[in-house]
Structures are given as C-alpha cells and as structure tokens.
Amino acid sequence: MQNLIEEFIQYLQREKGLAVNTLESYGRDLRQYSQYLEADAEGSWNQATRATIAAYLLHLKKQGKSAATIARRLAALKSFYQFLVRENYVEQDPTSNMESPKLEKRLPKVLTIKEVENLLKQPSSTSAAGLRDRAMLELLYATGIRVSELISLNVSDLNLEMGFLRCMGKGSRERIVPMGSVAIRCVKEYLTNGRAKLVSNPEEKALFVNHHGRRLTRQGFWKIVKKYAHDAKIQKDITPHTLRHSFATHLLENGADLRSVQEMLGHADISTTQIYTQITKGRLKEVYSRTHPRA
C-alpha cells in the first residue's frame, strides 16, 4: 500500500497541482489508515468494504478525533479509492456514497483594529530581526496572504514601486496582490537595513530569512507571532491565519465588496469568503445593541 500511496501523491502533485502541505496531509492520513489496517482490521486495502471504512471512522471517533479530522481523513480515503478504481487496482470504491460527519461552522477568530495596531508596533526597529518581523507582520495584514505564501516569497516577487506582490497560492494559482503604503515602507526598510545582516549567502532568493540566513519556516514564523502577541498582551487564542482573517473582516467592515476580497485572498469559491460576512453582521448587531437607544 505504501507504494500506491506514493503513486497517488505523485498523481495529485502532477495532475492536480496541490500545495506541498496538502500533499503531506494526504500522505500522513493514508499512512495512518494503512497502519490501522495492519493492526486492527481483517483484510487489506484491496479487500476493504464499506464496513471496513465505517469501522475505521468509528475507531477515529473513539480515539477522540474531532469531526473535522474525521471528515478530512474520509476525504483522503475517497480520493485515494477513486484513484485506485480509475487505475484498475480495485474494482469497487468502498467509500462510495459515504457521507462526511456534519461540521459545526466555526467563525474564524479576528483581532480588533486596535489589537492589530498594538501587535504591529511590537517589533523593534533597532535590529535586523525586528525590521524583518515588522515587515512580515505589516505585509501579512496589508495583503491577507497565507502564512505559507508569505514565507515562500522571493525578493523578485515584490514590485515596491508599483505597490504589489506576486504569490503562488493553493493549486499553484498565481495572483497579484496590492500592498499598502505602510507595508511598502517597512519592507523597504527591512531590505535596506535588515536583510543583508541576516543573509549569509548572497545568492539567497528568499525575502524573509531566519538567523541562519535561510528561508524562514512556518514554525519559525509562528513562534515570532506568538511572542509578539504575548508582548502585546492579546488574550485571544490566535492562529497563524489570524491576521489574514482580520484583514478580510476589516476590509468588509469598511465597505469592500466581497468579490474583491475573494480575489485578494485567493479563494477559488466565493462561499469560502462569505464566512467573513457573518463576522461583520455579528459586529453590526453588537454595535447596534450597544449604541441604539431602543436596542
């Protein structure tokens, strides 16, 4: 089965153009399914039935896995078995017509404008790392790009004179995103006074690098955000995407149209973007209740 998983991952990469993180997630989920079959189930991947899949999902539930995790594992299995049927490795798809567990729609947590301003002023402007951190945070909030897109940026992806950047999103979809004047100023300052002090190899293409002079990782960025959130005394349980969510919500609150926000976020489906309208509606109700004399 391990060879088939590798073949499937290569197919997803080649034919679907999925992001590296997505491919790793598929591989991880399918390997755990393979381990389950070896340890707890009778038969093998090519003898799996609907009952086998149902037993596996029940096994995950007993382990305390969330509905979202179980739904993701089932989605991986569905794609995998569809691939196996198409390539004639199995005759029938045991996941056919199986429904995913219903997920509770959770609204993304966002920061208030004041909280964002407090967070953005935390990095020091007297060190190379501080200039880098301020540029990253300002750029993330100014553009709404994903953290994976931020750390994947090369210096050549920026056009600071025209005020935009080029990034590669999910499914290898390229998009052009405008940058705000504050973010442009902070990135220029980082490039002029900070990056050269961090980069050890003059051939390094990465825009944001760590103290070793190599491209910053997602984990490294997340540690930076956690530190500044703590310094800013932000009590909310923020995630790597909190600034992205805040970017979208603040745009909509200030009159941006949904289609423009969808394009800037790189959402393939506008229904994904619409979740932010629920946040803004909730804010409106809150403001109304607090300010209207007959609320």
Clarify whether 212 is annotated catalytic: no
Q: Smallest Cα–Cα separation from 196: which of 128, 136, 130? A: 128
Over residues 267-283, mean pLDDT: 62
Clarify whether 56 is annotated catalytic: no
Same domain, 166 and 231: yes
Clarify whether 170 is annotated catalytic: yes
| CATH number of the domain enclosing 262 | 1.10.443.10
**Catalytic, out of 59, 214, 241, 283:** 241
| CATH number of the domain enclosing 63 | 1.10.150.130
pLDDT bucket at 104, cuts 50 / 70 / 90: low
Over residues 183-207, mean pLDDT: 94
Same domain, 122 and 222: yes
Task: Answer yes or no: is 105 within a domain.
Answer: no
Task: Answer yes or no: is 100 within a domain.
Answer: no
- Res 154: pLDDT: 95
Same domain, 127 and 231: yes
Task: Answer yes or no: is 104 within a domain.
Answer: no
Clarify whether 230 is annotated catalytic: no
Clarify whether 241 is annotated catalytic: yes
**Catalytic, out of 170, 185, 215, 283:** 170
Same domain, 82 and 120: no
**Catalytic, out of 146, 195, 245, 250:** 146
Residue 36's domain spans which residues?
2-86
| Residue 187: alpha-carbon gap to chain centroid | 22
Same domain, 73 and 148: no
DSSP per residue, the chain: -HHHHHHHHHHIIIII---HHHHHHHHHHHHHHHHHHHHH-SS-GGG--HHHHHHHHHHHHHTT--HHHHHHHHHHHHHHHHHHHHTTS-SS-TTTTPPPPPPP-PPPP---HHHHHHHHT-S-SSSHHHHHHHHHHHHHHHH---HHHHHH-BGGGEETTTTEEEEE-GGG-EEEEE--HHHHHHHHHHHHHTHHHH-S-TT--BSSB-TTSSBPPHHHHHHHHHHHHHHTT--S---TTHHHHHHHHHHHHTT--HHHHHHHHT-SSHHHHTHHHHHHHHHHHHHHHHH-TT-
**CA separation for the pair 292, 169 (Å, rounded):** 43
**Catalytic, out of 132, 245, 250, 267:** 267
Same domain, 119 and 252: yes
Same domain, 155 and 261: yes
275, 108 Cβ separation under 8 angstroms = yes
Clarify whether 195 is annotated catalytic: no
**Segment 90-99, tens digit of pLDDT:** 888 999 888 8
76 pLDDT higher than 80: yes
| Residue 112: alpha-carbon gap to chain centroid | 20
- Res 141: pLDDT: 87
Over residues 11-29, mean pLDDT: 86
Based on the structure, what is the number of domains in the chain?
2
Task: Answer yes or no: is 97 within a domain.
Answer: no
**Catalytic, out of 26, 56, 228, 276:** 276
243, 140 Cβ separation under 8 angstroms = yes
Mean pLDDT of the chain: 84
Over residues 237-251, mean pLDDT: 81
